[in-house]
A and B are shown apart, each in its own frame.
Chain A
Amino acid sequence: MVDEHERPDAGGTPARDADPDTDGVPPAPEGPPGRQVPAWVDERRPRSVYGVGQEPDARFSLANERTALAWVRTGLSLVAGGIALTSFATFADLSAVLDVVAAIACVAGAGLSVWALVGWQRNEKALRLDRPLPSPRALPVLVVGVVAFGLGLGVYAVFSAW
């Protein structure tokens, strides 16, 4: 499990001072005697997230970061799908309906990537406050959207084949 090395210092507190001899790490150079020099002042943004609660296990924060990046990539693949559709439309001289679908996909992808920021904040806050993780609200929206996207394109394909 996590030992002392992997646990980031709680924000702003000079944790080293409690046990300066940990692992033979020399204590940080002190300022004038009698004055506490914090090892590290937590200035991370956004303060609405980092200003509350306690520092969680860094691995959970990293997992949260990867989750947010996965959301960004999901939005990005929607954007890429829209761009690919436009690209095919220019090659094959397809109908303007597809261009409308492509534009909707691009906008939806951008919105989904913005949601990644919101979701990251919610999760990180829950981690810091040691609360249950919030439900992934964007997931049903994404599923419904992708299903509608696929069904719409399928119906379009069937009708254009006739």
Chain B
Amino acid sequence: MVSAAGAGDDAPRAHPSRDVGLQPERTALAWQRTILSVTVGSLVCGATALRLDQPVIVVAAAAVAIAAMLPSVLRLPEGGLPSHGHLRSWRFLVRMVLLVSALGAVGTAAALVSMLQGDG
């Protein structure tokens, strides 16, 4: 029962529609960690490309950073509980993997350019 939480109520019941293991929250945090890491990684990549004087790579890295952050800025977090049966994480997972792969490609390009410049 949802009571006024008296002193004798030593086992406060969580909200019935809330997972006591905080699984949705932990999952949301995992998403945030991942998005932040992609963003930081692409910014570091952009900084490296700036030193390499490669504006194309800079723009590509910035695009990855923006594409990672934009959805979480534009879209309010729904906070939808999994009990609603609307877990649609596949699209977001695919998008995240695409972003990481794009960052990998940009980083490879930066490494190759750096290699060529080192030789030249």
- Taken together as a complex, chains A and B put the C-alpha atoms of A117 and B94 apart, in Å, by 7
The proximity string for A residues 56-91 relative to B, scoring 1 for CB distances below 8 Å and 0 otherwise, is 001101110110111011011101101111110111
- Taken together as a complex, chains A and B put the C-alpha atoms of A85 and B41 apart, in Å, by 12
- Verify A102–B111 contact, CB threshold 8 A: yes
Question: How far in angstroms is the closest Cβ of chain A from B72?
Answer: 14
User: B69: CB under 8 A from chain A?
Assistant: no
- Verify B114–A44 contact, CB threshold 8 A: no
Are A82 and B16 also in contact (CB < 8 A) when A40-B85, A75-B100 are? no
Are A79 and B23 also in contact (CB < 8 A) when A99-B114, A116-B97 are? no
User: Residues of B contacting A86 with CB < 8 Å?
Assistant: 48, 107, 110-111, 114
User: Residues of A contacting B33 with CB < 8 Å?
Assistant: 69, 73
Q: Could you say which of B17, B27, B91, B119 contacts A5, with CB atoms under 8 Å apart?
A: B17
User: B67: CB under 8 A from chain A?
Assistant: no
- Verify A58–B23 contact, CB threshold 8 A: yes
User: B62: CB under 8 A from chain A?
Assistant: no
Residue of chain A at shortest CB distance from B41: A80
Residue of chain A at shortest CB distance from B86: A40
The proximity string for B residues 16-30 relative to A, scoring 1 for CB distances below 8 Å and 0 otherwise, is 110101011011001
- Taken together as a complex, chains A and B put the C-alpha atoms of A94 and B118 apart, in Å, by 8
B-side interface size class: 35 or more
- Verify A70–B30 contact, CB threshold 8 A: yes
- Verify A45–B90 contact, CB threshold 8 A: yes
- Verify B21–A82 contact, CB threshold 8 A: no
A residues neighboring B (CB under 8 Å): 3, 5-9, 23, 40, 42, 44-46, 49, 55, 58-59, 61-63, 65-66, 68-70, 72-73, 75-77, 79-80, 82-87, 89-91, 93-96, 99-100, 102-103, 106-107, 109-110, 113-114, 116-117, 120
Chain A to chain B contacts (Cβ below 8 Å), 21 pairs: A8-B85, A45-B90, A58-B19, A58-B82, A58-B83, A58-B85, A59-B21, A61-B82, A62-B82, A63-B23, A65-B87, A76-B103, A79-B41, A79-B104, A100-B111, A103-B107, A106-B103, A109-B100, A113-B104, A114-B101, A120-B93
Given contacts A90-B52, A91-B51, 7 further A-B contacts (CB under 8 A): A45-B88, A61-B82, A72-B97, A87-B48, A106-B104, A110-B105, A113-B97
B residues neighboring A (CB under 8 Å): 16-17, 19, 21, 23-24, 26-27, 30-31, 33-34, 37-38, 40-41, 44-45, 47-48, 51-52, 81-91, 93-94, 96-97, 100-101, 103-105, 107-108, 110-112, 114-115, 118-119
